[in-house]
Amino acid sequence: MPASETTRQEIEIDFFRTEDAPGIARLFRQVYGEGYPIRTYYLPDRLIEENAAGHIISCVARTPTGEVVGHNALILLDSATHLYENAAGVVLPTFRGQAIFPRLFKHTIVNISKRFGVEGIVGEPVCNHVHLQKMCLQLDFKESGLEVDLMPAAAYGMEPSAFSRVSVLLGYFMHRPRVQTIQMPMAYRDELSYLYAGLNLERTFVFSTNDLPAEGSSQGSMNLFDLAQVARITIDCIGPDFDPFIFHMESEAREKGMVIFQVWLPLASPFASAATDILRGHGYFLGGILPCWPNGDGLLMQKVSQEPIWEGIVLYSERARRIGEMIRRDWQCAFARV
């Protein structure tokens, strides 16, 4: 497949050029107004810098006159493992119905990955419709979780099918498999056994105790996504102070207006089971797993500030629907505890 291609609609799917940046900014304003949560796409100079640095790898759809009518991108999550996230997909409304986005999407996952040496791609197809979920499965997407109420509807142009917040499937397209030992949280033994069974990975499972370490301290980082009102906490080390550590970070995020809380736990840690139980005591429920997480497999725990509109979560595959049922049951357990 060449670097660019032209269909009978004369829409070119191509890699990013610096002259595309103002057109991408116009595209995002035409579709989202000022409501898209990531400001970079509104700032041409910043977008050029991010593409040059490899932090963002944009793919564009252009008319013969050079007008940008579509965009999709890979966003760098971890430079050491060349792990990216697929995001920022959009097509101008007047050009929809011409199969532009499926071509953009495939070009991003296949061609960009080859050109830039991408070793892993995290995907989060939306659950207010099934179109993107179908496209993902055609490119061997592995479904491994459900992020409930992750994004505000404004991030998707206030489509009629979007409720107040939109949930997304969690999964990945590709990654370099590594043999790993997983410290299985006892609370989710059945759920994680099901999730791993569908991934065809070589894993050794150990059922660790529910004790925290006697020494050390918890370590981690928190990213706040202000417009989306999401706090994402990544735990690097689980210490004896894990309970107050999580309480402090969540309180700080809540004071800054966050309403969705995500905690990523390292499943290589022998204390993952104890940390999971503590999070469950704080009202967190299961989100899923990611085998391509930078420091080994990660377990997602999540917490929402209001009851999700479960009927608005549309899931396509049988596996996705089973994952959805699993997550909803655990939310009900979390809701009953708080």
Residue-range domains of the chain with CATH: 5-174 (3.40.630.30), 180-337 (3.40.630)
Residue 289 CB contacts under 8 Å (≥ 6 apart), including other chains: 144, 145, 192, 195, 196, 267, 297, 298, 299, 300
Task: List the pLDDT tens digit at each of the 338 positions of the chain.
Answer: 444 444 445 899 999 999 999 999 999 999 988 888 889 999 999 999 999 999 999 999 999 999 999 999 999 998 888 899 999 999 999 998 899 999 999 999 999 999 998 989 999 999 999 999 999 999 999 999 999 999 887 666 554 444 579 999 999 997 677 788 999 999 999 999 999 998 988 899 998 777 999 999 999 999 999 888 999 999 999 999 999 999 999 999 999 999 999 999 999 999 999 999 999 999 999 999 999 887 789 999 999 999 999 999 999 999 999 999 999 999 999 887 66
In tens, the pLDDT along 230-266 reads: 999 999 999 999 999 999 999 999 999 999 999 999 9
d(CA 38, CA 83): 19
- Report yes or no: 252 and 61 within 8 Å, Cβ to Cβ: no
Predicted local confidence at residue 296, as pLDDT: 87
In tens, the pLDDT along 25-70 reads: 999 999 988 888 889 999 999 999 999 999 999 999 999 999 999 9
Q: Which residue has the tokens 């499965």?
A: 137
Predicted local confidence at residue 175, as pLDDT: 67
Residue type, 326: M
Residue type, 324: G
Predicted local confidence at residue 280, as pLDDT: 96
C-alpha distance from residue 113 to each of 92, 107, 110, 121, 279 (Å) = 25, 9, 5, 9, 36
Q: Where are the beta strands (DSSP E) in 16-135?
A: 56-62, 68-78, 83-91, 120-123
Q: Kindly report the pTM of this predicted structure.
A: 0.89
Predicted local confidence at residue 155, as pLDDT: 63
Beta bridge partners of 59: 15, 72
- Report yes or no: 152 and 167 within 8 Å, Cβ to Cβ: no
